[in-house]
Structure 1
Amino acid sequence: MTQKPYSESCERNRAPILSVLQRYLGDARHVLEIGSGTGQHAVHFAAALPWLRWQASDHVDHLPGIRQWLEEAALPNTPAPIELQAVAGATPGLQPTPEADVRFDAIFAANTLHIMGWDNVQALFAGLPALMAPQALFIAYGPFNYNGAFTSDSNRTFDDWLKARDPRSGIRDFEAIDALAAAQGLALREDVAMPANNRLLVWQRLCG
């Protein structure tokens, strides 16, 4: 069997992220994770939040690795991962979407917005309303700039690395991301400082 994918950053950040998720997801029943990556977050959060159903998703290339983590953990609240990616210029922007009758109480994404091109970030936000229940949350973890400035030298170095790897990627400005959220009827609930110069942003849908 192929060795499971592994992310050291997931191991480092899962505890501080969980401490915030526990405050917000007490009444949640269906949560969608966009960009599940290795699947480590899905396993950790689903185990700690057993009352909800944690739906992992990612590009098709990442699904085998996610399945390995889910199958090894054998949790009752982690269904098979689904293919889901932001498609620029598409409607609703996230394709393919889950079943039409599924509306998630929360959508979570960690370390995705700076990896994607800006057009794909726009597509992701455009596709959120079709997936969200009334009053649902969108929770995003990662590094962000504020007022066009890096919050640390390490984030500046990381941004240089990202752009060398893919010129379309890069640390996003909080104000630009918040504007995309507001355009889809999402209001910022909290901006939480996290270790290693990261943030956890929580938005809530204002309409049904």
Structure 2
Amino acid sequence: MFDKPYSPACDRNKAPILAVLAAHLQEAGLVLEIGSGSGQHAVHFAGALPHLNWQCSDRPEYLPGIRLWLADAALPNTPPPLTLDVAGNWPDGRFDAVFTANTLHIMGWPQVGQLFAHLPQILAPAGLLVVYGPFNYGGHFTSASNAEFDAALRRDDPARGIRDFEAVDALARQAGLHLLEDRSLPANNRCIVWRRAAAAPLSPA
């Protein structure tokens, strides 16, 4: 246990995120997680939702830690993690859902755009996109703690920062997705769910 990477935030938020996933992913089969990080979310969600095949992915430096969590859990529905940088090569095939947590504020805005632009290539018709993390609304922070967090992100890297919901939703709509739910979760975070159109072909953003 102590040799594996560990995120206290993952332990705190896994239960409320799981409630959203359980409500929306009953018909899903193959899920791509973008930015699996430590791997904690993957084993928790895959263990609780065994009908899903949970495909982890992240940049190469994070894959060893993810493999440790997957090996320790030994779940039958967590294949080996994939290398995925949103600005690089993406996996082949179609996924019933894409999940990502606490990534949009770490990426630069151009990389956020690249993530959404690739969704038409990988998301199956009627597939879901689920995004967890903090968001601004109407150009304003939702809490003082989010404003402090945003300042810390930008001190570390000026390209980072909490994203405006309206701008992200515009990227989703350009990719042929429509908003299903925007749920408030603890610690001033949101879990937002979009769905791809069931039949109409998508055009990349």
CA apart distance, 1:137: 0.3
TM-score of the pair, normalised by structure 1: 0.94
CA–CA separation in structure 2 for the residues paired with 1:204 and 1:146: 21
Matched, 1:96 2:89: yes
CA apart distance, 1:96: 2.0
2:12 partner amino acid: R
Question: Could you tell me which residue of structure 1 aligns to residue 19 of structure 2?
Answer: 19
> SS of 1:203's equivalent?
strand
CA–CA separation in structure 2 for the residues paired with 1:140 and 1:51: 20
Gaps of 5+ in 1: 88-94
> SS of 2:187's equivalent?
helix
> SS of 1:62's equivalent?
helix
CA–CA separation in structure 2 for the residues paired with 1:163 and 1:3: 30
TM-score of the pair, normalised by structure 2: 0.95
CA–CA separation in structure 2 for the residues paired with 1:57 and 1:203: 20
CA apart distance, 1:51: 0.8
Matched, 1:68 2:68: yes
2:89 partner amino acid: P
Match of 1:171 among 156, 162, 166: 162
Matched, 1:188 2:179: yes
Question: Could you tell me which residue of structure 1 aligns to residue 48 of structure 2?
Answer: 48
CA apart distance, 1:2: 8.3
CA–CA separation in structure 2 for the residues paired with 1:2 and 1:15: 22
Gaps of 5+ in 2: none
Percent identical = 60
Question: Could you tell me which residue of structure 1 aligns to residue 79 of structure 2?
Answer: 79
2:18 partner amino acid: L
CA–CA separation in structure 1 for the residues paired with 2:83 and 2:22: 26
> SS of 1:116's equivalent?
coil
Matched, 1:7 2:7: yes
Match of 1:119 among 96, 100, 110: 110
CA apart distance, 1:97: 1.9
Total equivalences in the alignment = 199
Question: Could you tell me which residue of structure 1 aligns to residue 133 of structure 2?
Answer: 142
CA apart distance, 1:86: 1.1
Matched, 1:132 2:155: no
Question: Could you tell me which residue of structure 1 aligns to residue 33 of structure 2?
Answer: 33
1:116 partner amino acid: M
CA–CA separation in structure 2 for the residues paired with 1:121 and 1:52: 26
CA–CA separation in structure 2 for the residues paired with 1:38 and 1:75: 16
CA–CA separation in structure 2 for the residues paired with 1:83 and 1:33: 11
RMSD, matched Cα: 1.2
CA–CA separation in structure 2 for the residues paired with 1:56 and 1:32: 6
1:83 partner amino acid: T
